[in-house]
Structure 1
């Protein structure tokens, strides 16, 4: 953007960060976290949010120090860790694809819940929404920032309204209704499990050049966005749990907020929440598709992916990057389960954020001790999450570990063969 008047101010930047996190976050993970942490789900959201808050500090300070956006891939190249940067970029792209599949999975289940035509419909809708938005992106039709801002405030209104009704009813016994109470330390595992609900803020680091006065706007907007999302998640967790009970949210975890909406306002509430979920996840799918395709294009131009992913169509869209992302995301959304997809995405983003926090500490950013705390927190969360998932779903987590290790070991050989 050439004109400063067209660049994003604090309100636009804050809204984009909040939208990136809430976009599919709370709609996707509420039932999952209550299943893991029970009545301590709120503490899981708080702990994960604190890790995200520290990571937001590291991302913004590194962007300011280098006067450049680009996230973890750029930060690692700046400190001459090009090999690690290339491998991490592959893992990060996988994380975004997993996130896309979670958003599509969530979209399909929320929309299908109204029609109740069978178990096949959510998967078909997940496929359809990715395919439709891929077609939109291939034509170069981007989403307007003003529309994104309106969408963000709209879904916040719905979420806070739902939380307010539940809190007004004040039924704390529903926090453990129908389930066995969990020990408080279940919240530690839960925090790692649902960390993907906070991952969206770092997309701002890719938009550094589009921010008005980034030295002030970026750190201020990202920090306040994470704080706002922590508060929203806590209110929604307490409110919806008191409204419908923990057991119901777990049983209907794919559409937890729709169930709460129906309990609060009948069929009208069901429709309102479903519309909010559809627009929220649809917007998140659109933004993630575009951002991930651009990330793949950037990595390919740096010779860390095959050159085919840097080829653009007539609309200047990296066509093969976009199609490959969409294809894998559709496959995962159709065959995967919500819990497994959320767990895998959370581990990847915790690993990436931990790396960025460690870089920030090593590069002596402002208040570098905060970044060290973040790096340690991310590392412990990754270890705890992997141990827990090995007990619950060893095949899925084993596959993720094998893919990750294989990327680090075989990436140079694969690139050499594909060139």
Structure 2
């Protein structure tokens, strides 16, 4: 009889199970997200960056392989109107940048779009967003590292006339490929910089950004001396359809400004400086892209871009008649791409830090050392990315990063709309102008570009999402901090 009574009492005291629908839709209030910054279970990140460093992080992640290689792909489609295509792509990216600016100032958390989704659309959507960002950042670092290896090889050939053997610069599956050592090396070098500390890493990134800005300004200054009016005619040879197609391609040259938002917990004054850094970087990058495009298509006939693999370095050689400026430019490209690897790897570790603090991935990713650096987080993710860059042909996986990025951008725009409706009283240092129109346009533009992707890319993305859902329902939902708190709370305090 006593056993029956004890069992009944335990059942009465045991928490009533919460429905799965409630569990996947639970949100973290904005106030809590803000309060938790600097309160990681394994220590806190250090606030050491001002507006200049945050702007450099945003520029460092954005200004990379895009302008150095994508121009040659876009000019044959748009002709001299590639300048207009850059403007269109910039305006499209601006919709999402404005949304990031508003939310980064309100929620200065390391999780970026993941944290914004957690505050507005619930845990499952936040997990999917974070899972997409893992793909975007992780594979992007690997892909950029592969590009860095190609530029290193090009620079070596320009200086010495010798190229590295294909067996050491290509992954298995590529012609003659065994292992891509340069790609792995640059990832490890970026890890070493991050392990020293964020202040030193931010300083190093700032130096590299200044160098690559200087190299691109050098290109404009030299190429503009050879600009001829005749090279701009016809301005739009393939019509507006060609400009639109080029704009879709060039949109991905603007991806990267979100990296500044991952520094929310290491900014001295995030509410003020994060929105400014995002918008300032967008202005600088857009202006520089248009100047480079103007100088490039004005210096040589646009048809050359379709007939040969015309690069900015080759244009400098043709304009000056000497290869010395090509060598300087190639060296600048090596530095430019290295800064992208550094900053994007940094952003990856900070998103994982936020997800780990919430219990959605193991706690080791949110432990920090005495320097305020998530050491094991950085080491683990570097090892994974270095192997990916060295041994795996990226193929459609690299294309799927574009969908992952666009999906995250769309969620950030939705988050602005949700908070404007549900929490209009929250202080906003920066407000998206013309809302709700601007965020809606942001969502629609992201959806349009996602739908323009190929079937193979969608299949890869779908498989990645399926794997993420298995992990969420098998591990993350059960280990979430919100789940633990709901289980520990008295039954009458739970919904």
Q: Does residue 81 of structure 2 align to residue 40 of structure 1?
A: yes
Give the corresponding residue for 1:147: 204
- Tell whether the 8 Å contact from 1:13 to 1:211 is kept in structure 2 after alignment: yes
Shift of residue 192, structure 1, vs aligned partner? 3.0
Q: Secondary structure at the match of 2:163?
A: coil
Distance 1:414 1:262, change over 3 A: farther
Deviations 1:139-165 (A, max 9, x none): 823444333223222211211221233
Match among 306, 311, 330 for residue 256 of structure 1: 311
Larger radius of gyration: 2
- Tell whether the 8 Å contact from 1:95 to 1:349 is kept in structure 2 after alignment: yes
Measure, in 2, the Cα distance between the counterparts of 1:196 and 1:174.
26
Match among 200, 219, 223 for residue 279 of structure 2: 223
Which structure shows the bigger proportion of residues in helix conformation?
1
- Tell whether the 8 Å contact from 1:104 to 1:285 is kept in structure 2 after alignment: yes
Match among 392, 412, 416 for residue 472 of structure 2: 412
Give the corresponding residue for 1:63: 104
- Tell whether the 8 Å contact from 1:73 to 1:86 is kept in structure 2 after alignment: yes
Give the corresponding residue for 1:123: 170
Q: Secondary structure at the match of 1:123?
A: coil
Distance 1:13 1:406, change over 3 A: same
Match among 92, 113, 120 for residue 154 of structure 2: 113
Give the corresponding residue for 1:94: 135
Shift of residue 307, structure 1, vs aligned partner? 5.5
Q: Secondary structure at the match of 1:317?
A: helix
Deviations 1:317-338 (A, max 9, x none): 3232332233234445xx246x
- Tell whether the 8 Å contact from 1:192 to 1:347 is kept in structure 2 after alignment: no
Measure, in 2, the Cα distance between the counterparts of 1:235 and 1:14.
20
Give the corresponding residue for 2:376: 317
159-168 or 135-144, which deviates more: 135-144
Shift of residue 416, structure 1, vs aligned partner? 7.1
- Tell whether the 8 Å contact from 2:112 to 2:262 is kept in structure 1 after alignment: yes
TM-score, normalized by length of structure 2? Answer: 0.71
Q: Does residue 445 of structure 2 align to residue 376 of structure 1?
A: no
Measure, in 1, the Cα distance between the counterparts of 2:106 and 2:369.
34
Shift of residue 232, structure 1, vs aligned partner? 0.4
Shift of residue 90, structure 1, vs aligned partner? 1.0
Give the corresponding residue for 1:10: 51
Q: Secondary structure at the match of 2:280?
A: helix
Structure 1, unpaired ranges of 5+: none
Match among 337, 346, 360 for residue 281 of structure 1: 337
Q: Secondary structure at the match of 2:342?
A: helix
RMSD: 3.6
Alignment of 1:288-367 (within 5 A): 288-305=344-361, 316-318=375-377, 319-332=379-392, 335-336=393-394, 343-364=399-420, 366-367=431-432
Distance 1:95 1:113, change over 3 A: same
Shift of residue 281, structure 1, vs aligned partner? 0.6
Aligned length, in residue pairs: 406
Measure, in 1, the Cα distance between the counterparts of 2:271 and 2:477.
42
- Tell whether the 8 Å contact from 2:409 to 2:446 is kept in structure 1 after alignment: no
Give the corresponding residue for 1:167: 224
- Tell whether the 8 Å contact from 1:174 to 1:244 is kept in structure 2 after alignment: yes
Measure, in 2, the Cα distance between the counterparts of 1:6 and 1:297.
15
- Tell whether the 8 Å contact from 2:90 to 2:254 is kept in structure 1 after alignment: yes
Measure, in 1, the Cα distance between the counterparts of 2:120 and 2:84.
36
Give the corresponding residue for 1:403: 463
Q: Secondary structure at the match of 2:196?
A: coil
Measure, in 2, the Cα distance between the counterparts of 1:20 and 1:417.
32
Shift of residue 63, structure 1, vs aligned partner? 2.4
Q: Secondary structure at the match of 2:142?
A: helix
Alignment of 1:18-37 (within 5 A): 18-37=59-78
Distance 1:111 1:322, change over 3 A: closer
- Tell whether the 8 Å contact from 1:244 to 1:260 is kept in structure 2 after alignment: yes
Measure, in 2, the Cα distance between the counterparts of 1:194 and 1:165.
24
133-142 or 186-195, which deviates more: 133-142
Measure, in 1, the Cα distance between the counterparts of 2:360 and 2:69.
32
